[in-house]
Structure 1
Amino acid sequence: MRYAFDPELAAALAMMAEVDISDLAAARAAQAAELAAQVAVTDTAGVAVSDVTTDDGVRLRTYRPEGHGGPLPAVYRVHGGGFVLGSPDADHEANLRLCRELPAVVVSPEYRLAPEHPFPAGLDDCYAGLCFVAEHAGRFGIDADRMAVAGDSAGACLATATAMLARDGGGPALRFQYLDSPALDDRLTTPSARRFDDTPVWNRPSALIGWNAYLGAGVRGTAGVPALAAPSRARTGELAGLPPAYVAVMEFDALRDEGIDYARALLTAGVAVELHLFPGTFHGASLVRHAAVVQRATAEAVTVLRRALGR
């Protein structure tokens, strides 16, 4: 490898399966089988896990810590997968951990995937799910005044776009947005997007496939892509009034610079932002849970969300 990866991450690469979405059906089948096996053996002790369906037909997986009375804060956490892969199973273990450690109710929406359902289908599902949770806060044991959105990669794109919809449509008054390795710019013209075409897990070729699926053939990179689809397109005025944000980026990630640029754009718009670049990392490094740099990033996620939600 020509990249100076963190030694613990580099050692784990040989054991990590390559993510290849050029055959999407095969990639989905392989991921679903792997995630189902993981979910089956994951310890859910101390957390009540349930699935509900909104009036709009959006399935939500909820995680509530047991033994905590009174309304709790909520984290509405959107899974990643390049707009084309994934389900709540992808974040099952992470959501359990977040639920226990905050503690808070964690909600994971199962949104429609591209290319079968291009923009704005997945975003519509995410927003409908958020509104349902807020409207039924009592049912979920949630304090609707202490809600945050969160997501990684494509999930971070959907999370911040959901925050835009909430601001503009009179939706839930969100306290915070946590954006991990966000996929925000369909143009893929930043230095990191041009350079990192062979990095592990996710890279420029993968991003091209994901954006083309999400936006539709021939749309990516054109002038008409709206900010709700690719938030890096937002003008300063379109970002004003969004909730405070934490943006985490990985050093050797094609998406690194668009995350940094988005953090700066939020700051310019008057939105409070904390930005952290984790050295020696690549997109999806969080899969290597034993690595010290990953544990540091995970602990920081809990810290900033706890602070933002008033725990």
Structure 2
Amino acid sequence: MRDLVDPALLPGLELMPALDLEEAYLPAIREGMEQASGAMPEPVGTGVQWRDEQVPTPDGHAVPVRIYTPAGSGPWPAILQIHGGGYIVGSVTTGHGMMMTLAASVEAVIISVDYRLAPETPAPGSVQDCYAALLWLVDQSAQLGIDPSRIAVAGQSAGGGLAAALTLLARDRGGPAIVHQNLTYPMLDDRTCVTPQPDHLGAFVWTPQANSFGWRCLLGQEPGGTNVPPYAVPARAADLSGLPPAFITVGALDLFLAEDLDYARRLIEAKVPTELHVYPGAYHGFDVMPDAPVSQRMKNDMTIALRRALHGD
């Protein structure tokens, strides 16, 4: 099935081999990802400054966040960024360099959330951490140089699922207002685990086995069941009306293709302005090859959508 992959993306399959995930392996996988992310050089010439902060929560724990501030003077729009990792791995170091580049190109302050991971913290702990960061962002907007009327949420994979869930939670709690949701190959629906998929979807990187494991860790139960924790599975929300405009991207070989297409359809039917991009020959996480033309197209499409939402470009 490698013949279906965009040739420019083939080397990425060596960087991200599919894993048979088990809970016993998680500490080693997390450590390896942190080491790999930490070894990546920062992009030069962005003018972006970054620092780490701690966000207090009502139950007494703190949520680490990493703040990226572009050069110049604000007030800036803000992007609440939520990293990927199947709900079970990843941190603010995931995509650190990409966040520096994005803050400069979009001209926005980015607040990246180091939410608690499953299975140690099952749902709804992760989305509650993201909501605490959103509230803090608004409360500290003057100190952060942020215009609180221009806030977007963005995420990749599980982070895209959390970004979608966060918009639902913020809508139902009456704010803060979010002007845009930017979802990159989002992980939205645990029912994909019990729905047969064509063999070529999910053949690479994030497989059906990995997907079942990630959802099982987050939900604390087998995926695809009758009941799930609130705000854990955005695709299960009965009402998608009143949500912020959405931008959704997914590769044509991604296991999440069908659920992302269906979520975009439901948003459109709920009268939510929605932009959808499907990239041929692209597997899950294909932008691990940032110089591939298809990755450049996705980055450009995402940047345009964010600038339009936050600056009116």
TM bracket (short chain) = over 0.9
Match of 1:94 in 2: 98
Paired residue for 1:174, among 157, 174, 178? 178
| Secondary structure of residue in 2 paired with 1:258 | helix
Q: Specify every segment of 5 or more residues in structure 1 that has no aligned partner in the other structure, as ranges.
A: none
Paired residue for 2:27, among 25, 29, 35? 25
Structure 1 segment 33-52 matched on structure 2, within 5 A: 33-38=35-40, 41-43=41-43, 45=45, 46-52=47-53
Paired residue for 1:158, among 154, 157, 162? 162
1:73-114 residue CA offsets vs partner (Å, 9 max, x unmatched): 111110000000000110201111110101110110000000
CA gap 1:189/1:196 in 2 versus in 1, 3 angstroms? farther
> Would the aligned equivalents of 1:192 and 1:256 in 2 still touch at CA under 8 Å?
no
Paired residue for 1:83, among 81, 87, 103? 87
Return the TM-score normalized by structure 2. 0.92
Identity fraction in percent: 39
Query: Greater shift after overlay, 181-190 or 260-269?
Result: 181-190
Q: 2: distance between equivalents of 1:226 and 1:241? A: 22
Q: 1: distance between equivalents of 2:278 and 2:226? A: 30
CA gap 1:19/1:138 in 2 versus in 1, 3 angstroms? farther
Match of 2:64 in 1: 59
Aligned residues between the structures: 304
Return the TM-score normalized by structure 1. 0.93
Query: Greater shift after overlay, 146-155 or 197-206?
Result: 197-206
> Would the aligned equivalents of 2:122 and 2:220 in 1 still touch at CA under 8 Å?
yes
Q: CA deviation at 1:169?
A: 1.1
Q: CA deviation at 1:43?
A: 3.4
Paired residue for 1:233, among 233, 236, 243? 236
Query: Greater shift after overlay, 173-182 or 224-233?
Result: 224-233
Q: 2: distance between equivalents of 1:224 and 1:78? A: 25
> Would the aligned equivalents of 2:12 and 2:288 in 1 still touch at CA under 8 Å?
no
| Secondary structure of residue in 1 paired with 2:281 | strand
> Would the aligned equivalents of 1:192 and 1:254 in 2 still touch at CA under 8 Å?
no
> Would the aligned equivalents of 1:196 and 1:203 in 2 still touch at CA under 8 Å?
no
Q: Specify every segment of 5 or more residues in structure 2 that has no aligned partner in the other structure, as ranges.
A: none
Structure 1 segment 247-286 matched on structure 2, within 5 A: 247-286=248-287
| Secondary structure of residue in 1 paired with 2:73 | coil
Q: CA RMSD in A?
A: 1.7
